[in-house]
Amino acid sequence: MEMNKNSEDSVNQLKVMFESEKINFEEKLKEEKKKNERKIKNLTEDYESKIQEMENEMNEEIDMLNNDLQEKDNYHETYCRQVEHEINTLNQRIDMLESNLKEAKELNLTLQNNHATLLEQQLENHNKERKELADRIEKMNQEFGSKENELTTLRLKRDQNEKLLEEKDKILLQSRTDHDEERKDLEKKIENYKIK
pLDDT digits (tens, 9 = 90+) for 107-164: 767 777 666 677 678 788 888 888 888 888 888 888 877 888 888 888 888 888 788 8
Q: How far apart are CA 65 and CA 59, in angstroms?
A: 10
Q: What is residue 36's predicted lDDT score, i.e. its pLDDT?
A: 79
Q: What is residue 3's predicted lDDT score, i.e. its pLDDT?
A: 52
When the pLDDT of each residue in the chain is averaged and rounded to a whole number, the result is 79
DSSP 8-class letter at 112: G
Q: How far apart are CA 65 and CA 161, in angstroms?
A: 9
Q: Helices H, strands E: what count in the chain? A: 2, 0
- How many alpha carbons lie under 13 Å from residue 166 in its C-beta half-sphere? 6
> 187 with 37: CB under 8 angstroms?
no
Q: What is residue 104's predicted lDDT score, i.e. its pLDDT?
A: 78
Q: What is residue 122's predicted lDDT score, i.e. its pLDDT?
A: 79
Q: What is residue 40's predicted lDDT score, i.e. its pLDDT?
A: 79
Which residues touch 115 (CB under 8 Å, ≥6 apart)?
A: 107, 108
Q: How far apart are CA 121 and CA 101, in angstroms?
A: 12
Which amino acid type is present at position 125?
A: N
Q: What is residue 83's predicted lDDT score, i.e. its pLDDT?
A: 83
- All residue ranges of the chain with pLDDT < 70 are 1-12, 15, 108, 113-116, 119, 193-196
Q: What is residue 5's predicted lDDT score, i.e. its pLDDT?
A: 54
